[in-house]
Amino acid sequence: MNILAQEKEESIDLGRFLRILWDRRIVVGGIVLLCTIIATIVAFVLPKQYASTTLVQMRSTGSGMGTHGNAAALASMAGIDLGGSSGSASPTNYIELMKSRRVLEPIIDAMDWPSDKKKPTAADFAKSNLDIKNTKQTNLISVTAKGRTPEEAQMISQGVVDNFLAMQTDMNQQTQSLLVQFLDDRIKKAKDDSEKADAALAKYSRENKIYSPEEQIKAAVQLLGTYDEEFSKQEVDYQSADAELASLKEKIGEQEQGALAYNINDNDVVTKIRNEIVTKEVALVELRQKYTDKHPEVIAAKESLAKLRQSLQDEVGAIVASKAATLNPTQAELMTKAAQASAKRAVAAAAKSAVEKERSKQDAKMENVPDSVMTYLQLKSDAKIKGEVYTNLVQQRENKSIQEAMESMDIQVVDEADLPDADKPTAPHKKLIIVLGFVFGCFLTFTYGILCYRRFEN
């Protein structure tokens, strides 16, 4: 009985409910009309808002597009590798950088704000005035800005892209300038070492009248020359990576990077890949003693080495990403580059040691060669290595100078910021607001009817 009574109490007689509403139709109509009128007034009183969109494209490292791509293509024809891969960049990083204070504060300062209203922070401005999106599975980013006038919306959208490009160019040039400075120091030392080695060789050659012992031991000399060439290559890689690491440490702090580099170089996976690279490097030297660079075995060895080096870069990047989750995108990218430079330097150091060990084995096989000839060969080898180190460091320095002189734009503007039609604001949506006012009025009417029904039942 109690259950039946409760169900009866909770049920509503729809006919009686509608009669109650009809009897109070003036009040009901007044509620709906009042809500609709208020919504209409609000729709016309709210300030208009306009939206302007700029479409940009992230520079593709493989396509070589834009100023950097053209310069890289020309440099490639001249046998120069510009490097500067932007593979570590991601749409998420770019989007967050576009919301940074360095990008937004000049725009905020350029806008007119009421005297009684405080200027918003960059974070608040980004939330209220910007909608930056990356289209999935593409390298396109749309920057949509909201403004009180068509001109203001266009100014904000264009300003975000312009300020971001200026910031990226400035940051890239600062990094390249630091790297060039560190390379200059190493070039000066390499030049002094090369000149001293050449002078020592010339002096010994004059005093002992030894000028071309290669005719006597041509095969052995060529073999040693192969090891010398590889050693000089690894020395250049070491010096270059060391210079890059030093320039990056200037920007991110010695203590923080030192701890990360230690963990990376002691990582088991990194160590394993590094050892595999060193083994492949030595094997490649031995192959070059037998074949030319166009031989299938040499080509296959080079491809295998390239894959291992890429695996090392990917592994180091993953380690940094797992440890640098709390850093901002710019700092995290610098940390990744520094860690990769540290790993590259460690590989070069290990490869130098391995090549030097193999060369020592060849030296031991030349015990029957006169001491004077051996000394000459050692001096000649030293002069060759130091000369190649100097030459290659100078070439790298020139490559970095080319990068510094170029406009280091990481994104390209596809569509400039459009000027919205003054008669077509994006907000407020007047019809939607009026409909919502009407619906809200109906909801209040229904609530009013329920209250009247309960009172009648009681």
* Residue 32 domain boundaries: 13-46+430-453
Amino acid at 189: K
Beta-bridged to residue 141, according to DSSP, are 56, 134
Which neighbouring-strand residues pair with 366? none
- Report the C-alpha gap between 57 and 432 in whole angstroms: 35
Within a domain: 442: yes
Quick check: is 335 in a domain?
no
Residue 58 is inside which H or E element, if any?
strand 50-58
Residue 18: inside a domain: yes
| pLDDT < 50 regions, the chain | 1-8, 61-88, 255, 259, 262, 407
Query: Is 30 contained in some domain?
Result: yes
Whole-angstrom CA distances from 55 to 67, 69, 104, 169, 426 are 18, 20, 18, 19, 18
Task: Evaluate whether 212 touches 148 at the Cβ level (below 8 Å).
Answer: no
Q: What is the pLDDT of residue 178?
A: 64
Residue 434 domain-assigned? yes
Is 41 part of a structural domain of the chain?
yes
Please state, in angstroms and as integers, the Cα–Cα distance from residue 250 to each residue in 173, 179, 315, 403, 451, following that order.
14, 10, 24, 20, 73
Q: Total domain count for the chain?
A: 1
Which pairing describes strands 130-134 and 140-147: parallel, antiparallel, or unpaired? Answer: antiparallel
Domain-located, residue 123 = no
Give 161-183 pLDDT, tens digit per residue. 999 988 887 776 666 666 666 67
| CA 370 vs CA 154, 198, 210, 221, 222: distances in Å | 81, 21, 11, 14, 18
What span, in angstroms and rounded, lies between the C-alpha atoms of 292 and 294?
A: 5
Dihedrals phi, psi of 143, to nearest 5 degrees: -115, 100
**Is the full-model pTM beyond 0.75?**
no
pLDDT at 155: 92
pLDDT at 82: 38
Q: What is the pLDDT of residue 104?
A: 92
